[in-house]
């Protein structure tokens, strides 16, 4: 079955889907995106993804292409046409099409592209073994809170990880502070058993999964602090793990050449991963698409 994409008002077979060569998303990475996980037919934290999308658009002065209700109907239709029950929805909104010029007109019509992909997410087997990460310099701009499609630093870091047969690249500032990973947020369990993750400032993408894990952890009685931590503290931590839409909760057992704790996934990470799975299972098809 060929995949159906939605591109600027039309549902088209993905291999024939096209965008204009002067789309600013193509020429300047002048656009934003979201990735939503579809779990047993229900989007996970849909409202939070839409809220972040709205914020990213607002920060860049890109008007929403339509109401959130209309956008939701289109996403549901793409999901329906592709018969996806498990996988991801990718949606991208670019500023629009114009003759190449760095400055933009505020009257452009934004482009909207939606695709879906079947997938089962990271396997239990991988999570139960834990993953290796590499460290990499965070060479991104100063507005990492905006989910911009300009991902060159992220892809270079992820490639560094791939070349080292690692799952992710953990990014750090010149001062050695861990910001996040190339496509996920980073957490540690500190010496005093407090869960620590970088605060949701402009220096990181405020992960939707991060926010849910914060809620689940607090509701389960964990001590949680949002504060920066260093690469050095991460290496000495009791546990390290990642969170993200396509990562869920992923224990880290190796950082570069350094083994984390005893080299096995930690109990906090595995417990939170379980709680997150329960949370996804509790999705209600009647309300999951509400914004």
- Residue from 245, 276, 279, 288 touching ligand PDD (CB under 6 A): that is 245
Q: End-to-end CA distance of the chain: give it in Å, rounded.
A: 31
Q: Does the protein bind ligand PDD through residue 179 (CB under 6 A)?
A: no
Draw the binding track, 10-49, toward ligand PDD (x: CB under 6 A; -: no contact): -------------------------x--------------
Q: Does the protein bind ligand PDD through residue 173 (CB under 6 A)?
A: no
* Active-site residue, from 147, 191, 202, 238: 147
Draw the binding track, 125-164, toward ligand PDD (x: CB under 6 A; -: no contact): -----------------------------x----------
For the four alpha carbons of 119, 167, 251 and 247, in that order, the dihedral sign comes to negative
Q: Is 160 a catalytic residue?
A: no
Q: Does the protein bind ligand PDD through residue 184 (CB under 6 A)?
A: yes
Q: Does the protein bind ligand PDD through residue 208 (CB under 6 A)?
A: yes
**Contact, 6 vs 113, CB < 8 A?**
yes
CB closer to ligand PDD, 97 vs 171: 171
CA distance 276 to 135: 26
- Residue from 244, 251, 265, 266 touching ligand PDD (CB under 6 A): that is 244
CB closer to ligand PDD, 98 vs 242: 242
SS3 sequence of 63-124: CCCCCHHHHHHHHHHHHHHHCCCCEEEEEEEECCECCCCCCCCCCCCCEEEEEEEECCCCCH
Distance of CA 106 to the CA centre of its chain: 28
Residue 249: what are its φ and ψ, rounded to 5°? -120, 120
- Residue from 27, 194, 230, 246 touching ligand PDD (CB under 6 A): that is 246
Helix 208-219, helix 46-59: angle, nearest 10 = 130
Residues touching ligand PDD: how many (CB under 6 A)?
Answer: 15
Helix or strand run (H / E) with residue 224: strand 224-226
Q: Does the protein bind ligand PDD through residue 205 (CB under 6 A)?
A: yes
Q: What is the CA radius of gyration of the chain?
A: 19
CB closer to ligand PDD, 4 vs 242: 242
Q: Does the protein bind ligand PDD through residue 113 (CB under 6 A)?
A: no
**Contact, 173 vs 186, CB < 8 A?**
no
- Residue from 30, 180, 203, 239 touching ligand PDD (CB under 6 A): that is 180
CA distance 44 to 92: 18
Q: Which of 90, 106, 99 is nearest to 32 (CA)?
A: 90
- Residue from 210, 249, 253, 289 touching ligand PDD (CB under 6 A): that is 210
Contacts with ligand PDD by CB under 6 A lie at 35, 154, 180, 183-185, 205, 207-210, 243-246
- Name the residues annotated as catalytic: 147
């Amino acid at each position: 079955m060929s995949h159906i994409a939605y591109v600027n008002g039309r549902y088209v077979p993905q291999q024939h889907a096209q965008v204009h060569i002067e789309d600013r998303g193509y020429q300047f990475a002048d656009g934003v995106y979201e990735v939503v996980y579809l779990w047993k037919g229900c989007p996970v934290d849909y409202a939070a993804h839409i809220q972040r999308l709205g914020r990213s658009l607002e920060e860049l002065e890109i008007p929403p292409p339509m109401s959130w209700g209309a956008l939701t109907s289109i996403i549901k239709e793409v999901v329906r046409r592709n018969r996806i029950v498990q996988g991801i929805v990718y949606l991208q909104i670019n500023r629009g099409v114009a003759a190449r010029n760095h400055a933009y007109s505020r009257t452009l019509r934004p482009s909207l592209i939606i695709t879906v992909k079947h997938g089962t997410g990271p396997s239990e087997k991988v999570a139960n073994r834990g993953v290796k990460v590499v460290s990499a310099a965070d060479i991104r701009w100063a507005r990492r809170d905006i989910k911009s499609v300009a991902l060159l630093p992220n892809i270079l870091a992820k490639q560094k990880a791939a070349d080292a047969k690692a799952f992710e690249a953990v990014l750090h500032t010149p001062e050695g502070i861990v910001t996040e990973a190339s496509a996920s947020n980073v957490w540690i369990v500190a010496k005093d058993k407090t869960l620590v993750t970088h605060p949701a400032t402009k220096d990181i993408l405020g992960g939707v999964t991060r926010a849910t894990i914060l809620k689940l952890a607090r509701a389960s009685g964990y001590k949680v602090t949002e504060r920066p931590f260093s690469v050095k503290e991460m290496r000495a931590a009791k546990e390290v793990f990642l969170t993200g839409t396509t990562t869920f909760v992923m224990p880290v057992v190796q950082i570069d050449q350094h083994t984390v704790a005893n080299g096995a996934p930690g109990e906090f990470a595995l417990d939170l991963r379980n709680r997150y799975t329960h949370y996804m299972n509790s999705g209600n098809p009647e309300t999951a698409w509400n914004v």
